[in-house]
Structure 1
Amino acid sequence: MTYAKYLRFFLLVVLLTTVGSGIFTACKISYSFTGASISPDVKTFTVYYIPNRARLVNPNLSQQLTEALQDKLLRQTSLDQLEESGDLEFEGQITNYDTRPMNIKEGDLAAQTRLTVTVKVKYTNNKNHDDDWEKSFSAYEDFDSNQILSDVEDSLMEEILEKLTEDIFNASIANW
């Protein structure tokens, strides 16, 4: 190729890159490796305290769930947290905290017990109310029935909170 052809090729690449980036920024949606797809005009979020309205109450669960959801959003998005009136708002309540026998073995005894937590969440996208929803999410963990709940509760809650926050994140931020 001659110098003139190289120059034309270079100018064509620069032109296409410049024009192409201008076209695509007009309808930009931000994606990240965490699966989040957030509109560029969304900058903040608020997670309101999630009270425990279940019959059986774990006294720490409300605070743990609220903080776990806040931490998840801070870790996996570039959004700033506000105490109230964020672009994205999460509120809700814990509606169920229950244990139930599972895997019945001989003698009608349970081999395992299942701890289930259900939370009802209201998600409000103040930049696009078409994305608003209200849903219930449940997560559970099984443990050996020979164990006392209070002995294994902390480790079970870590797993359950991880599942719940992942499901809430996927339903809101990742739009799954």
Structure 2
Amino acid sequence: MKIDKLKSVKYFSLFIGLLLSLSSCGVYSFSPSKLDSNLKTFSIQNFTMSTAGGPQNLSLSFNEKLKEYYQRNTSLKFKNLDGDLHLEGTIVGYELTPVSATAGDKAAMNRLTITVEVRLVNKIDESKNFERDFSFFQDFSQEQSLSQAEPALVPKILDQLVLNIFTATAADW
């Protein structure tokens, strides 16, 4: 008798969970982009470097990742200039800092942080315009030099920066 009661509670809980998840589909969209339907184009002015350090192709890599992400995740068409949604900015930070110390006051972990200043111009809805900094980091062991760690860390940091910028500009959460 006790086992039947437990099964009933289990199935009832499963049913309620399924019901709630299905009913919530109307509230939340799984689409990564919630842009105004009047927006048709986007443009990205090449981001420049205004900081020392970093790979020589950092701004080029960032620009390409940003363009590709918008092309893959929106229906907007890319324009070289004057898009309905226009992004521009500068890579303003490329910093290496120690984050945890060992007994001998040496860094056990180092942190690479990249900061990007972004300006968004939305020609359809000017209330969405902004200028703000986006920053992300990755930690790595002190046993690696920065030049050894960069090839693995920089793409991860840039991917997260692109995602954060996209979320702020196109995914109206």
Shorter-normalised TM range: 0.7 to 0.9
Structure 1: distance between partners of 2:140 and 2:54 = 19
Aligned length: 146
**Equivalence for 1:28:** none
Identity %: 36
The answer to whether residue 44 in structure 2 is matched with residue 47 in structure 1 is yes
Q: Which residue of 2 aligns with 1:143?
A: 140
Tell me how far apart the structure 2 counterparts of residues 32 and 42 of structure 1 sit (CA, whole Å). 19
Q: Is 2:173 the partner of 1:170?
A: no
Unaligned runs of 5+ in 2: 1-27
2:111 and 2:137 in contact (8 A); partners too: yes
User: What's the TM-score, normalizing by structure 1?
Assistant: 0.79
- Aligned-pair distance for 1:57? 4.0
Superposed CA deviations along residues 96-149 of structure 1, whole A, max 9, x for unmatched, are 001011110110011111000000000000111111000100000001111011
Return closer, same or farther for 1:112/1:139 CA change in 2, 3 Å cut-off: same
Could you list the runs of 5+ residues in structure 1 that have no partner in the other structure?
1-30
Structure 1 residue ranges, 4+ long, deviating more than 2 angstroms after superposition = 31-35, 55-58
Confirm whether residue 96 of structure 1 aligns to residue 93 of structure 2: yes
Does structure 1 conserve the Cα–Cα contact (< 8 Å) formed by 2:35 and 2:172?
no
Q: Choose which of 16, 28, 31 in structure 2 pairs with 1:34.
A: 31
C-alpha root-mean-square deviation of aligned residues, in Å?
1.4
Q: Equivalent residue for 1:7?
A: none
Measure, in 2, the Cα distance between the counterparts of 1:150 and 1:55: 15
Question: How big is the shift at 1:56?
Answer: 2.4
TM norm structure 2: 0.81
